[in-house]
Copies of this chain bind each other. A is one copy, B any other.
């Protein structure tokens, strides 16, 4: 099913925008893609290549989805519509972690294990920080090297620009493309910035949180509310001298999880010790996810949640659109700023500010 890999084809698929910053990348599809654009993109052809699992075609499809060119946007949506009937057949897993928890090491080890089991694994990333830092979660080409070389893997960093809402949308659509290409496990990595975890929780079936040993100390640096999103907690780096400490930490987390409402109704979130270095505990994580899948499919909540996620996505896109198109007009933005100043100076009530702002707008 998987084609031979040439020097032009690797599973590490980096965006055009990032490419220039990281030379040494072997991915050259954007160039080919630019050539192809001139020859017109055959959407039916591309859709059928994606369905066949051709990795270069999947990369092209994703680049099309990520393009901000108006013509491409229409083509991208036609492509996605063509592929919609073939989406949904994967386990969607969100992965986040406290700083230093070793997310990419874990994804590399966990993903490789799944690939060796014969699963097709796609790794995507949401990286809202990249607009600020100019970097990307997966921008460092030394990361996930083994996984990205595996014939069953597809590794794709996030776009390096755009609003979080946009990244959010594109990651969802990229996920659908990967599903149409036959990927059975989608790992979505997120960094703990802004609302990214909430966005990812809203697009996956299972949400995994990576932590380090010594819960008491490190929880201080943990983002508020993040533990309550998790269906599973991995106490990572449970190796060498750390094994005993990790076991204690697992117990501590189990206790805290017991205090919290489950992220998924009907599922008691669990904590597990894992060493990506010694390759221990990785099977337990997969077993946990499989038992989650079975239980949720039996209860039907698996499907209910996915429908709710799609509805929520549509509605949040409506809200974003309304707000963006309002603030996109300079006169509105300026007026909001003026009114806000008056309000903060105590010269105007908030309600008066709203009345003033919308007095012409609603007519």
Contact = CB atoms under 8 A, between A and B. Distances in A.
A114 B333 CA distance: 45
Interface string A136-175: 0000000000000000000000000000000001001100
Given A77-B351, A216-B259, A357 B228 contact: no
A311 B357 CA distance: 14
Given A224-B228, A311-B340, A343-B314, A349 B259 contact: no
A116 interface: no
Interface string A87-118: 10000000000000000000000000000000
Interface in A303-324: 307, 310-311, 313-314, 317-319, 321-323
Interface string A49-85: 0000000000000000000000001000100110011
Given A256-B256, A352-B77, A362-B325, A307 B344 contact: yes
A350 B316 CA distance: 11
Given A225-B225, A259-B215, A260-B224, A313 B358 contact: no
Most buried by B among A219, A259, A353, A358: A259
- Chain A contact surface mostly: helix
A355 interface: yes
Contacts of A362: 325
